[in-house]
Amino acid sequence: MFRKYTFALSLVLGFHCILNAQQTDFDFVVQPVEAKARDLSEYLVQLAWLNNPESAIVQDEVKIAQDEAKNTRKEWMRDVQATFNLNEANLRGVDSLGNVFFPRYNFGVSVNLYNILSQGNKNKIGKREIRIAEHKVNQRKLEIRAETLSRYANFKLAREIVKNRTLAEQEVYTNFVLIQQLYKTDEKNFEEYINASSAYYKAQEARMQAENDALLAKYRLEEMIGLKWEQVQHPEKVD
């Protein structure tokens, strides 16, 4: 029984250590814009974060939460009111009998006990709201990274497909020209000529479709990074 308990405890502690060791560093999810990007893909993520309006929105929400928390910490002072009264009779000096009226002045302070007693809880709420705003920033970083890298991968794939389709079209065209010449000398029949012609036009269509897909992938990537692909400046960039 003791061994089972020890084994279970070890598993729990081990799992807890793994969780602590694998906590996300969001400066690696999106490198700070002032840092040099590790490679082209990381540079594109930086551009997407820098130029995406939603990134600015969530960062401003953090600032708003911080400012509201500062205001909340000072809120209790608003309900503290001081009063001061000077006895008017003393302004005229002593009366005919030589009397001085007491008290000569009154001083008082009024406070809102509820606001003062609840101030600690309000401060905790303010801190939670800051954390929530910060979590939104981190969530947006994860989303932008995933979407940017996904669109970049699709763009690279689309360009490679264009290259392959272009090579395939060239090969089919070479074969079509050969069949056409042989058909003219009656070395190939009409059916073979039609098949070669059809294969060539299909290869043309496949190449044009691939080019269109690459263009659309380029537009989607540009939408994400906020720049035209031609404007991206990075040593690893290949046009």
Assigned domain for 202 exists: yes
Assigned domain for 6 exists: no
Assigned domain for 7 exists: no
Length of the chain: 239
Assigned domain for 87 exists: yes
Per-residue pLDDT, 69: 82
Per-residue pLDDT, 2: 46
- Give residue 223's domain range: 30-231
pTM of the entire predicted model: 0.74
The two structure tokens encoding residue 191? 């059916």
DSSP state of 36: P
Per-residue pLDDT, 98: 47
CA-only gyration radius of the chain, Å: 38
Assigned domain for 239 exists: no
Per-residue pLDDT, 238: 79
Per-residue pLDDT, 174: 96
Per-residue pLDDT, 11: 56
Give dist(CA 41, CA 144) in Å, integer: 12
Number of domains forming the structure of the chain: 1
Q: What is the mean pLDDT of each run of 10 residues along the chain (239 residues)?
A: 53 56 80 86 95 92 88 65 54 49 54 61 85 93 96 97 97 95 91 95 97 98 96 85
DSSP state of 101: -
Assigned domain for 193 exists: yes
CATH number at residue 136: 1.20.1600.10
Per-residue pLDDT, 97: 47
Residues 6+ apart with CB under 8 A from 66: 130
Assigned domain for 96 exists: yes
Per-residue pLDDT, 74: 67
Residues 6+ apart with CB under 8 A from 90: 100, 101, 104, 105
The two structure tokens encoding residue 205? 């269509």
Assigned domain for 2 exists: no
User: Measuring CA to CA, which residue among 200, 207, 217 is closest to residue 165?
Assistant: 207
